[in-house]
Chain A
């Protein structure tokens, strides 16, 4: 803790000005020039830091340099999560599990990072941005907009690894150009040759296992240009999290990023216009981590947790750019209110649609049922992935080695598959989106509905055929969803029962359709039963959505021997 040279008041880092500010007389001081932060240890560090963006010393990684500084560790007796501070303060709540309690404090040491991006977004700005974000979500619970609660936003410096990579050397990539001449295909073979000098410095990945990659990915990017040498003065008034993920964990991501960039740029050279690169060309680009390949740094993050019984939701705001990642659960009362409003609107819209025969009604209801089932399935899938943190390499590398190697293997496989794609110019820029499967399903439904719509208005609808197809799709999606629900953290019977009811109704409908039972009441009955089961399913999906927007309470006893207590 620093005190003001003028009056002795407490100096805190002020994101607005980037200076240390006296809370009492409001004097401003440059954080690099004030006393306590500049220890003797740091003087020795600066030479090395100066080398950072440049050619670099021969050091491989800056692990275990041994430079440490004194901090107070505040740990939560409930979840074991710890935050660290250079100030002495009383903390009445835990940022990881949201519990309101006084955190245990003890003196500790923290490894000194080399770089830091100081906070630029003030708490007020952060709250304002977050309130606006919540305002856009129709079904947000009132608590999420409560200014008093938002006061709990805590500025935490998250440890990151900042990677520097590049590629210097010749590239020779095979390519060809072909055209047809009568019954022959003439292929001219070429080599795309060039000397490449490139670097990509400042690629960052979070280095704390307690900070889920889900959030770090979404609040990215941080601007590496604003990195400055670390100085404990920047921590005044803020907290920090402990670095515990090794830099090797994200090495392959970093190299892949560079590889894609270099390859994309190289094939766009004007000399190579008109030729097509061979399949394996991309793999010939082999970027390397630079001598000072991974640098430890602190990045500013505003952090807030909302506790709801045994689940917790996080609001995470990039302390440099203000980018928000915050999952908001659904408030059921508001959800029902809006559902009724939309229902009334839908009802009015449906008045224009001519009355449907019971069979057409069944076909339409089944299509909607498939959409709802797919939504449920995709929600379940996301919950399972998130609760087990299957997408969080940093966490897995520490607590779940088995799953970690599986994830790595899967990524390799995916990469291999992608590189086998025949068209190398169509560089797959974006990885599979998480909702990809749902979208595919929706397209299938849309396609199956198209003849319906045409058929309905031209009076030539093959209802039986479409309905049979729908029943099959529904059965498949339903069974997958039931299987998926086994991996949920809790309460799977409700979902299973709900899906089961729907499938039974569907089988009944399939039978009356196949047997061509006479009497519209059988069909109406089937359609109504199906629609009731859809409504049931939709309400179940709200619960699942809320599970998705929240997470299980963290178990972060990092210091203790029992790792992943799961």
Chain B
């Protein structure tokens, strides 16, 4: 378990504790600050969460986005969250936020969450981290690298800081990916071409190096070509004496390993893009 894993587990446990402690106050998290809107999809029965705390979309955009989310909801719950709470402002921070948000509401249900995390902590010019995370069955279908590609494409295919464009494109791609199992990944193809060329040359080299490997014969082979004889007589082991050296044994007997890794975490996968 890496340090990061531990952190994540601890974070998850803390979050869980936090949620428990909050339960009596808010009967159900969600209507707390009034920005979070829940909709049940008529078709699939899954939940759409639209939570634009940072208020980046107007009414018209919101309506259009919810339509896309509704389409996507046949695969699971769909959340769109914008957030502006200051945090550590890095990928793991966004990941944690997204994770806690989803888990708080849906635990292990299938679903997808898109988070736009506006935080001054991110670099000055581009102080938003776009982050997409998938849960449950969707986790297998949209892996972190795919999330990353989706957001890359969203970023590259829309004009600068077109938040609606980013969000809509992301949901659309996720939908296409789930429908067709494919994603337009131009970067993957370009980098694969490079990698393939390099690997092709490298394989060549390894073959070439192997062919000039040294074939110097070993001693056994050399011996075969010699006149040789080895005879012994009077072979014996003479006892000379005994010495005692003081060397205290360490008294600790190892000690059992304590504790397991607490099962607080839940699995998820995610990927992000700074925008």
Residue B241 lies at the interface, judged by CB distance under 8 Å to chain A: yes
Q: Report how far A535 CA is from B198 CA in the complex, Å.
A: 6
Residue A269 lies at the interface, judged by CB distance under 8 Å to chain B: yes
Residues of chain A from 365 to 400 with CB closer than 8 A to chain B in the complex = 365, 368, 371-372, 375
B191–A356 CB distance below 8 A: yes
Residues of chain B from 94 to 138 with CB closer than 8 A to chain A in the complex = 122-123, 125-126
Residue A201 lies at the interface, judged by CB distance under 8 Å to chain B: yes
- Most chain A CB within 10 A, of B217, B219, B232, B247, is at B232
Minimum distance in angstroms from B108 CB to a CB of chain A:
17
B247–A185 CB distance below 8 A: yes
Residue B205 lies at the interface, judged by CB distance under 8 Å to chain A: yes
For residue B126, which residues in chain A have a CB less than 8 angstroms away from its CB? 518-519
Q: Report how far A262 CA is from B155 CA in the complex, Å.
A: 74
**Of B191, B232, B236, B238, the contact of A266 (CB 8 Å cutoff):** B232
Residue A265 lies at the interface, judged by CB distance under 8 Å to chain B: yes
B231–A355 CB distance below 8 A: no
A199–B227 CB distance below 8 A: yes
A269–B216 CB distance below 8 A: no
B232–A372 CB distance below 8 A: no
Minimum distance in angstroms from B185 CB to a CB of chain A:
5
**Of A271, A328, A347, A527, the contact of B237 (CB 8 Å cutoff):** A271
- Proximity string of chain B (259-275) to chain A, C-beta cutoff 8 Å, 1 when within and 0 when not: 00000000001110110
Q: Give B241's nearest chain A residue, CB to CB.
A: A189
B238–A220 CB distance below 8 A: no
Residue B245 lies at the interface, judged by CB distance under 8 Å to chain A: yes
Residue A186 lies at the interface, judged by CB distance under 8 Å to chain B: yes
**Of A184, A199, A347, A545, the contact of B229 (CB 8 Å cutoff):** A199
Minimum distance in angstroms from B236 CB to a CB of chain A:
5
Which of A70-78, A133-141, A142-150 touches B? Answer: A133-141
Number of interface residues of A (CB under 8 A): 105
Residues of chain A from 429 to 456 with CB closer than 8 A to chain B in the complex = 429-430, 433-435
A220–B245 CB distance below 8 A: no
Q: Report how far A269 CA is from B247 CA in the complex, Å.
A: 32
Q: Give A163's nearest chain B residue, CB to CB.
A: B226
- Most chain A CB within 10 A, of B90, B212, B245, is at B212
Number of interface residues of B (CB under 8 A): 82
B215–A531 CB distance below 8 A: no
Minimum distance in angstroms from B203 CB to a CB of chain A:
4
Minimum distance in angstroms from B97 CB to a CB of chain A:
16
A193–B219 CB distance below 8 A: no
Minimum distance in angstroms from B85 CB to a CB of chain A:
19
A197–B143 CB distance below 8 A: no
Residue A354 lies at the interface, judged by CB distance under 8 Å to chain B: yes
For residue B188, which residues in chain A have a CB less than 8 angstroms away from its CB? 355-356
Q: Report how far A527 CA is from B193 CA in the complex, Å.
A: 13
Minimum distance in angstroms from B35 CB to a CB of chain A:
26
B201–A355 CB distance below 8 A: no
For residue B148, which residues in chain A have a CB less than 8 angstroms away from its CB? 355, 357
A269–B235 CB distance below 8 A: yes
For residue A40, which residues in chain B have a CB less than 8 angstroms away from its CB? none
Q: Report how far A429 CA is from B125 CA in the complex, Å.
A: 63
B235–A271 CB distance below 8 A: yes
For residue A200, which residues in chain B have a CB less than 8 angstroms away from its CB? 223, 226-228
For residue B245, which residues in chain A have a CB less than 8 angstroms away from its CB? 184-185, 187
| Interface, chain A (partner B; CB < 8 A) | 53, 136-139, 175, 180-203, 217-218, 220-225, 257, 260-262, 265-266, 269, 271-272, 275, 323, 325, 327-328, 330, 335, 338-347, 350-351, 354-358, 360-361, 364-365, 368, 371-372, 375, 429-430, 433-435, 459-460, 462, 516-520, 524, 527-528, 531-532, 534-535, 538-539, 541, 545, 548-549
Going nearest first, the 10 A-B pairs with the smallest beta carbon separation are: A343-B200, A342-B200, A347-B196, A194-B235, A355-B188, A518-B274, A346-B199, A201-B227, A531-B194, A346-B196
